[in-house]
Chains A and B, each alone.
Chain A
């Protein structure tokens, strides 16, 4: 019995599923880790979907022309900063409705990437490809059953993601920056009296969020697939928003929740390969249905930062006449 279980756990089919789970989880995880920063600082980023798709295209195009995936990712980071600044300007400085702006920005970004892809590559029958990042198998550790394939048979970008999860936890719970971010998101007025520059903190947070979302998007095109497809994020930015709620704005919670979704995605892809009698459409639906179901369980007990979505007016502004 136990022998059977062990041989199943170490079988190549199951190991393939496990590696794929993490690979599919990484983009959502990166975006949701980014979301921790901005939401904890009190601004929402409904535009994650848009940030991701821009990251996908930028990463792909620059990798394609430069021949280096890392330069592509660097370019995606740059675009992430730019998008973060734009979103910061709208949501922090102009104080527009954050939901409305986020939705509109997503639509804009999808339109933008489709247009640019078309301009850059024209209409071709064989879509351009790049060589995706190689898998780095870490010796010894990768041999641990279950955990090995999940964690230690991944691309370099995945390892960077783990480090980012750890760094985020340290920043949020141990550093002065994390305290500033949490203060800005819970009680911005109080934060300001304690010497926290709420506006600047929020700008930094949304820029970090933009960068991480953009890398998440770039992961899809440069590490997972090696190609760009219109609208290839397919709602992952919105799923990342749900992951934040499910993971309770905690880096490790987000890690686990994203992995769950990666597993669901991997499961449906594998099942498609096996040609069961289930129509593929129902399999593709699986992550979206899972997202709704899990949200139902977590939404009531999860507590969002108190000032989330509320623009901040500096008290001193009124006297500047």
Chain B
């Protein structure tokens, strides 16, 4: 049909097209960020503040000093690590909205282990705490998938319900059985030095969890794109019926993707407790489990993209408080911009539709 040279050309053309598609995909994430920032600027202007001043303060607060960079990266840790977990689950079409609860329970059990063995050597104690957190997070998430497999119960609704249950349960624990003796606050006693994550950048709070996050991103990328498990997650998420017919154990794929997801959320909880709070507190997370969902989406369910999105959101969140003190724009404006980014990203197709429509109109006019 085609001669060989033609064939070669066609294949080259195809590759070029693929590369262009990849670039457009990355471009749409960046475009969404820029557009959201512009809309944010309009809102800031409406509040009577010069948007340039506000954004300057924001960037300054997020990346201006060694300490602010450290804080930004520190904030990116729970978002990235939970985000790559959510990536695995979403890729398998398991809609885990329960990372928040998994994070709470993971943090709690990690702290319990830390409090139980305060004198153990850190090289043993910290991994033990991490494992406890991961197992707890994984099991809590796993319940939702088991209910889905056994009773066809919607895992998205159940993981939301389980968030509320977990957070109230933890609230009871830190006000009751594991409350710091003599304290009126909802918190446990402080962890011993052995149970605290070592700092990797002097004069900042940046702890070793950041390095582990980078390693986990690499590992997850490898798992998703290079291993049989990742392949099976991807194809099952696209078409579970064909995958099942082809002998893939789809139930295991669903369950394992959620176990991984829950474990990552639990690990994030461990980092927050052992790296920042140095104890368990009632409000250990300010919605990281939810923000991580949009981080995963903006990162296009690619672990490396998720890392970038997490650093971006970390920077926005840390810079927000500087912005609030410097120019008086409430920090919650940044929360709004964050979610706006994702809404715009999801709706990116609108732009090509609008352009098509305009072209058509021009044709009609001409």
- The answer to whether A and B touch directly, with their CB atoms under 8 angstroms apart, is yes
Q: A115-B330, A238-B160 are known contacts. Are A300 and B169 too (CB-CB below 8 A)? A: no
Q: A94-B353, A111-B332 are known contacts. Are A281 and B157 too (CB-CB below 8 A)? A: no
Interface size of B by CB at 8 A reads 44
Q: Which residues of A contact B47 (CB under 8 A)?
A: 119
CA distance A318 to B164 in the complex (A): 46
A101 at the interface (CB under 8 A from B): yes
Flag if B332 contacts A118 (CB, 8 Å): yes
Flag if A96 contacts B347 (CB, 8 Å): yes
CA distance A299 to B149 in the complex (A): 11
- Tell me the nearest residue of chain B to A237, going by C-beta: B160
Stretch at the interface among A102-110, A127-135, A175-183: A102-110
* B273-297 residues at the A interface, CB under 8 angstroms: 290-291, 293-294, 297
B211 at the interface (CB under 8 A from A): no
Flag if A289 contacts B165 (CB, 8 Å): yes
Report A230-269 CB contacts with B as 1/0, cut-off 8 Å.
0000110011011001000000000000000000000000
* B141-180 residues at the A interface, CB under 8 angstroms: 147, 151-154, 156-158, 160-165, 168-169, 171-172, 175-176
Q: A115-B332, A296-B153 are known contacts. Are A103 and B346 too (CB-CB below 8 A)? A: no
Q: Which residues of A contact B165 (CB under 8 A)?
A: 285, 288-289
CA distance A19 to B47 in the complex (A): 43
Pair count A-B, CB < 8 A: 123
Flag if B154 contacts A118 (CB, 8 Å): no
Stretch at the interface among B131-139, B262-270, B334-342: B334-342
B117 at the interface (CB under 8 A from A): no
Residue among B294, B333, B339, B340 facing the most chain A CB atoms (10 A cut-off): B339
Flag if A295 contacts B154 (CB, 8 Å): yes
Flag if B151 contacts A288 (CB, 8 Å): no
Flag if A107 contacts B172 (CB, 8 Å): no
B208 at the interface (CB under 8 A from A): no
Q: Do most interface residues of chain B lie in helix, strand or loop, or is the interface mixed?
A: helix
CA distance A21 to B236 in the complex (A): 43
- Closest beta carbon of chain A to B295's beta carbon, Å: 11
Flag if B346 contacts A241 (CB, 8 Å): no
- Closest beta carbon of chain B to A245's beta carbon, Å: 7
CA distance A256 to B154 in the complex (A): 21
Q: Which residues of A contact B339 (CB under 8 A)?
A: 104, 107-108, 111-112
A291 at the interface (CB under 8 A from B): yes
B156, B172, B338: which contacts A99 (Cβ < 8 A)? B156
Q: A285-B165, A292-B162 are known contacts. Are A101 and B346 too (CB-CB below 8 A)? A: yes
B97 at the interface (CB under 8 A from A): yes
Q: Which residues of A contact B154 (CB under 8 A)?
A: 241-242, 245, 295, 299
CA distance A103 to B162 in the complex (A): 16
A positions within 8 Å CB-CB of B: 46, 89-90, 93-97, 99-101, 103-105, 107-108, 111-112, 114-115, 118-119, 234-235, 238-239, 241-242, 245, 279, 281-282, 284-285, 288-289, 291-292, 295-297, 299-300
15 contacts between A and B (CB under 8 A): A94-B353, A100-B90, A111-B338, A239-B157, A242-B154, A242-B157, A279-B176, A284-B164, A288-B161, A288-B164, A291-B157, A291-B161, A292-B153, A299-B152, A300-B152
